[in-house]
Amino acid sequence: MSSFSSFSSPKAFPSLVQQGSPYPPSFAYFIFGGHQDKDRILRLMLAVYHPRNRYLLHLGRDAGDDERLALVSAVMAVPAIQAFGNVDVVGNADWITYLGSSNVALTLRAAAIMLKLDSGWNWFITLSARDYPLITQDGTPNFLL
């Protein structure tokens, strides 16, 4: 698994996001799906998006490169994501199976990639494109503490 794209602002953007024990926790989200899940992944990522968090999006190998590039384009079109540069899309996709050890291996590889990209997060959350949050992003830290 390798990072396909990292988004950054064309100009330097001073981050107002502060991390550490006196501040709310930050999350690393691994959001994955398969063929025809591009729109679901984008919708879910936007529903849980917060500048404090880190995101890794993965379309399985059954999705074509055109679908993966469309996801990258859709994500890059969001100004906040461009400004904070905290969303990556996996370019070298793996097969996704929802049963068995391959799903565990996929999740562990995603966690390793996210640790290399940014180790400033406190919690790792895996979401499928078929999931949807029941708690707002602002309420999640209070729910976990």
Please write the tens of the pLDDT for every residue from 23-61: 788 899 999 999 999 999 999 999 999 999 999 999 999
How many percent of the chain have pLDDT more than 90?
A: 56
Strand ranges inside the chain, DSSP E? 3-6, 27-33, 54-59, 87-90, 123-128
Query: What confidence score (pLDDT) does residue 25 get?
Result: 85
Helix/strand/coil for 145: coil
Q: What is the pTM of this model?
A: 0.80
Each domain of the chain, given as residue ranges in start order, spans 26-144
Please name the CATH architecture into which domain 26-144 falls.
Alpha-Beta Complex (3.90)
Please write the tens of the pLDDT for every residue from 11-26: 445 556 666 667 788 8
Number of CB atoms found within 10 A of residue 86's CB: 26
For 3, the token pair is 């990072």
